[in-house]
Amino acid sequence: MKTTVSRCLIALACVLSLSMIPTAGVAANGLPTAGRHDPAHDTISATLNGGLLAVSEMTNYACHDRDYPTFRCFDTIAQMSADLDASVRMIAPTSGVTTNGSIGSMAAQVVWITTVYVDINYSNAALAVTSSLWSMPSGWNDIVSSSRNQSGQDPCFWQGVGYSGGGLRFGAGAWIPNYVPYYFNDIVSSIAASC
């Protein structure tokens, strides 16, 4: 690494090219890219009640991304919600002494950020999001019409992939039954956990 830096310092063009490299882990709008899901580039799969489901069919069901890159889908929103609720209780963080003797959290908690719906008034297919989505999964791009924010986070909905284009933030705990008054109906292409 020292050799590369010294060579670059000698050549002005190399120094200029280094200054133009984007910061790792940060999108053009300053939002972090680390820890996010990218269905456009990751190999994703979907299940329906335990069996395989074509990813393109997810928009016909209630699904969540807790087991990313596998999306778990269910026939009803109630079944999906029960599955997520059970997993949150099952792996809720606990305090105690870890194996190395330090005190801290012994398990990670699933944070249920928001649920987006194909139609207004929280109806039709649903997708519960537990982490930022750099891009929406197959079939989910540009079809979101309502959302419920389940966490204390302020998720941001973006018109473009990679948190680009116009963005919209509703705030922690907001339930938005209709995106039409916000001029954001059927245009969500990515979701950031917070902005």
One-letter identity of residue 99: T
Is residue 76, in this structure, part of any structural domain at all?
yes
Question: In angstroms, what is the C-alpha Rg of the chain?
Answer: 20
pLDDT at 193: 85
Is residue 14, in this structure, part of any structural domain at all?
no
Is residue 17, in this structure, part of any structural domain at all?
no
Is residue 19, in this structure, part of any structural domain at all?
no
pLDDT at 38 > cutoff 80: no
Q: Nearest Cα to 113, choosing from 182, 35, 48? A: 35
Is residue 42, in this structure, part of any structural domain at all?
yes
Is residue 116, in this structure, part of any structural domain at all?
yes
pTM metric for this prediction: 0.71
pLDDT tens digits for range 63-105: 999 888 999 999 999 999 999 887 765 444 444 433 444 334 4
Which token pair is 125? 């297919």
Which token pair is 87? 């997993």
Is residue 3, in this structure, part of any structural domain at all?
no
pLDDT classification of 36: cutoffs 50, 70, 90: low
pLDDT tens digits for range 126-181: 999 988 899 999 899 999 999 999 888 888 999 999 999 999 998 888 999 999 99
Is residue 158, in this structure, part of any structural domain at all?
yes
With the C-alpha atoms ordered 37, 187, 169, 62, is the resulting torsion angle positive or negative?
Answer: negative
pLDDT tens digits for range 101-113: 433 443 445 566 8
Which token pair is 46? 């979907």
pLDDT at 40: 64
Query: How many domains in the chain?
Result: 1
pLDDT tens digits for range 17-28: 222 223 334 444
pLDDT classification of 186: cutoffs 50, 70, 90: very high
CATH number of the domain residue 31 falls in: 2.60.20.10
Range of the domain at 149: 27-94+103-192
HEC letters along the chain: CHHHHHHHHHCHHHHHHHHCCCCCCECCCCCECCCCECCCCCCCEEEECCEEECHHHHHHCEEECCCCCEEEEECCHHHHHHHHHHHHHHCCCCEEECCCCCEEECCCCCCCCEEEEEECCCEEEEEEECCCECCCCCCCCCCCCEEEECCCCCCEEEEECCCEEEEEECCCCCEECCCHHHCCCCCCCEEECCC
